[in-house]
Structures are given as structure tokens and as C-alpha cells.
Chain A
């Protein structure tokens, strides 16, 4: 009943910034043409990508599980085309030749330009998305804005060339954007046929992978030729290699932890006092699940968590026994007054998260044509940070040696929120100022708050009390 009142508000506010970014990006490019076929949810979806190099060298391809991203250049495109061709014969993909893949349109998703074509294909038990990014900076940008997520990668190395200086950079990129599993595809095995030479390249790659903390010794290396697969010539190096590659994808790239299996967390949109019953808070459950009589903590904005118990859950005028990730719910809390609740606070499983003010983040500064500002900014810049449902002033400190931040830049910097919030790695946020979105960011590391920060907060709290 009480939720009926809030229904409109929930739907309005749940389209909150960071969330909607993610959602949009999930769909971005999935259906390139006007084919709005029904999406089959029976298989887990994974994202894959290719990373570009010079034409006809085809050194690298990244394939990402549960989402796919990457750039397809002339060479790499061959492999992508080969995969779709192979799977098309099995009826689980639509064949794209490399002209289709190469004419990647600049997509404008929520105003941010993204250079990526997404291709989809299915294996026996998974659904893959495959995206292609032209360069390092482009990929990092996609990662920050949430357009691309890599669950795993396929590294394409040409057997004719072996590991090149830039192969190192490709692996480094995987590290930087948090790819956990890599599969190597040794391409052009039809050009250099000597197995001993293949071993040589294998050894090089395994060494290289090891030096960047990937497990090079157990990384599967598939030998084949994308060109053979595409032209349907040598079945051993062509079709069979494709089969092995898809198998390796299925077996070696982990499905990321489902949101539902994580501890409960819900960011509070709004609160309402229902006379005679108590205070109801609304929001979208970010991860985990909750049920009636669960003990939860209200954290964020204040340093100390407040213990409470869930006494009722409703969604759109219906009673629920439990809520799970993705649900828009209203939660009735015991012993909490409306004044104690502020938008931006979170409900969480007790002890599962602590609150922080300081963190390290990767920022992408939006260009004017993407809705950002045209002026640069400097250390000491203080925009509003939109993080989950919270909206808080933040101090930006540029990295050492960086004098100013220009539109179009991406870099890692340290930031300090005006008040503490529950933070976690890979949490996305937006920086806004004067009606413009200045930057998109993703948290890469939570930092400890210093004594001074705590002191400052206490003084501020004392001041507020006095004022009242």
C-alpha cells in the first residue's frame, strides 16, 4: 500500500545516472541492424573483443566472456570473421565477413562516442558478444564509461611474427582493464608450419604472460589459421582450430560472479514515513538478496553504521518475502525515523562493507561534443560526484606531473568525497558541474581515510549540532 504512493517516484529516480549508464551499455551495439529478434536468455552471455594492430599482421585478438569488446583491424578482423563463419555452419551465429565488421560506425551512446562494433555468436552453452577497439586509449575509455567489460580475452599472435614489442602493450592493456583469463590464438600456422617454431613462439608468449602475472604455463594456446577457416581450405588449421578456440572460451573464461550471490546492498533513493508502521526506504537492490527479519545496517554519509531490521518488503503494491538484485523495492525498517535517512545512504548486510572518503579512480574527461565542458581543470577542482544514488562534492587531485586535465583525457587520480560512502572497486560514477557531465569514472582502489579526515568530520558534526 505505502508503496503505491511511491511507485511513480521509484520509477523516476531509479533511472539514476550510473545505473542507467550500465544498462544502456549492455544493450549498446548488441543489435546493430533493425533486427529486434527475441533474446534467448537460456545461455549465459559473455563479451569478447579484438585489439588492433597493423593490417595483415594480426598479432592479437581479445575475446571477452560475458561481454565482448575490441577493435577489428584488417588482420584481426579475419579471425572474428572466421569465428562467425565457423559458428554459422553450426547455426549459432550469423556470418559476417570482414567488410561488415570493419565499417565500425561511431556509436554515440549517451553522448559518449564509442568506436566499437559488436558481433554476437553462441557456443553450445554460452552466448558471446564480441567488440573491437582501435587502440589502447579507446579501450580504456570504453572501460571507464562502462561501454565495455572484459571477462576474458583472446590474444592473437601471428606464428609468422612471434611476439612483437607491442604484444607486451596488449597484455598490459588486459592487466589494466582487469581481464582475468586470457586465451592465446596462434594464427597463421599455415605460413610457418614447423612445429618447433610454433613451440618457440609459444614459449615466448608464455614467458611474456608470466611476466604480467598471468598464468602463462596453463594458458591454452590454440594453433590455427583464421584465413584457412575463412576460405574453408585446410580443415585441420581452419575449422578444427575454430572449434578448439570456442571450446577453450567455454572452458577457460570464468563466468563472473552473479550479482545475486554477493552480500546484500541497496542504495537508498528516498524515504517516507508511514504513520503507525515506521519508515520505508526505497531503492534498487544492487546486489545480493534480503528477506523480512534480516538484520541490516544503514551505512554511508555518517561514519558509524546504524543497525536495524527489515520488517517488510514491497514492490509495486505487492508484498514480497524477499527481494533480490535488480528489484525496485520499498523496505520497512524498524526503529528508524525519516530524519535519520538520507538519499545516498545504503542498506547492507552487517559488516559486509565499510565507508570511505578517499579512493583512486580512472577518469575519462568528456569532450564538449559529448556534453562535457571545453575548459580544462586543475588540482583542487570540486565538482559533484554522482555515485549510486548519492550526490556529493568531491575534491579531485591530479596525478603528479599532470598540470591540467583536458577534455578527452583519461588518467588515474585520487579523489576525496565530502562525506563517507560505501565504496567498492569497479563502481562507476559521474562528475557533474553546472548542469554538465564533466567526467565519467570508475573506482580502481579504495584508500584509507587519514586521521585528519576523521577529525574534520567530527568538527563538522559538532558545528552542525551547535547550529541546531
Chain B
């Protein structure tokens, strides 16, 4: 549904986004993670055709995001990270205006979502709304739009816990309805809860894309203490990789089938064993934690 190839955006000599190539599949929830300044919003704005890529390209449903941005925006609804709404308008008037820009469809659903689900009083002026209420209003509109793609930039940042749950529920509903969702956020547990795949960005680069289903199904971590020296090499067919080696102790990551692993363990002089899994935080910390892996690009 969304494809970027070598997408780059530079401001003078400063590269805000560097060589991002990714594919967001139709009907999936794609989490976009990274700290402030990592290039998430710039990438999103290039997808919407609000920013022109310095090089590379982005396309939604086959339409080039810069040259055919109108076609793209017909298919996409966007919730900005920092929602700013004209205060003089009443809630209902604003929804009416936004719907009129999309041909008038979706107003009833937007009103219903705003009033019944989000609990807003649409007869009030927007300037009397709190930040969270404004975000709810914008969310109601985004979820009501009859589009193929929803791009939500930090959609829960100003919301209370119950409203956050409502939003996560609406994201799940959107996926069920076949919509593609880009969910950019900082709350890892939320992204973990809703995303099918997660991309981690760092300093404008796409560092890693993780399939969350695959991860939940197949990823396990093993902490092994051997009687004596652990083996130098591991059988390739087991899909084991060493995360840490410390004397008799090996910390391994396993992504393969369980049967062959158990057989191999049985043949090894293992003194002790712990098997666990990993949350998104651990993955995120590999790129943004205190002991984050640095690569050649970071050292440049």
C-alpha cells in the first residue's frame, strides 16, 4: 500500500531522513518508533506530499506522494502529532468543514464518534476544549474518514488512559475493516499492542523492521549455563544467535522451530537453563538504549 525507496530529506547539510526504504502492506498496522528528531514526522509528511523529498520516492497505492499528492490525500487521513485547531469554530462546525473538504462523506460517523465514543460536546467552541479534547475531535474525524490509509502521528499523546484504550480499540477496528494504519508513537506498550510490524528509526534512518506476529510466535531468548566451556559455534539450522557470551554462560536468541532446539539442548552439557521472551522495549533499547549498538553511519 505504501512504498518508500531511498527516501531522503535534507535541510541544507542536515539530513532529517536518510535513505528510508520500507513497505507498508495493505491492511496492516505499521508502528513507527523512534525518539524525537528521529525522522518519523518528516517521513510521514513526505508520504502526505507536504514535504518534497530531496531524493528517493514514496508512493501510496501506486501514486507518487509528491507529484500525485492529491490522489494520495484522497486515500489517506492524517492526524498530526500536535493538533492545532481554529479556536473560533464550534466542534460541529469544524467537523463539517473537514468533511466538506472530502466531499461531505463521513460527517455523521465523525459526529457519532466525537459525541458518543469520545464524549465531546460539539456545540462548544474549540477554544474551550482542552488539548486532549482537541485531540479526540481530530481523532474522531480521522477514524470517520472513508479512506484506505490512516496515518496517526502520536495519536494518544494528550489522552487520558481510558481515551487511550478507546483509540487502540478504534485502531483494531480499522484494521478489521481493512484499513492500513501507520501508528507513530512513543508509548512502546501501545505500539506493541496494536502493531503488526514495527519500524525503528534513528537519526533519520530506518534501523530495523520487526514482524510482531513472528516475534510473538517464534522469538525466544535462552540463558544457558554449561558444565565447562560452551561450544564455540552453534548449528546454523537451529537459527540461534549469540547475544552475549560470558564464561560458562551463553545468552542466545532463537527464531527457529522448538523441536530441533530441544534435541540439541539434550545433547549438550547444560547445567542450567532459562527460556523467556522479549518485549518491544528490549528491541527498542538495542537502538536507543544506554548501550545502543552504534554503526558506521553513527560514527560518521
B is bound to A:
no
User: Which residues from chain A sit less than 8 Å from chain B, CB to CB?
Assistant: none
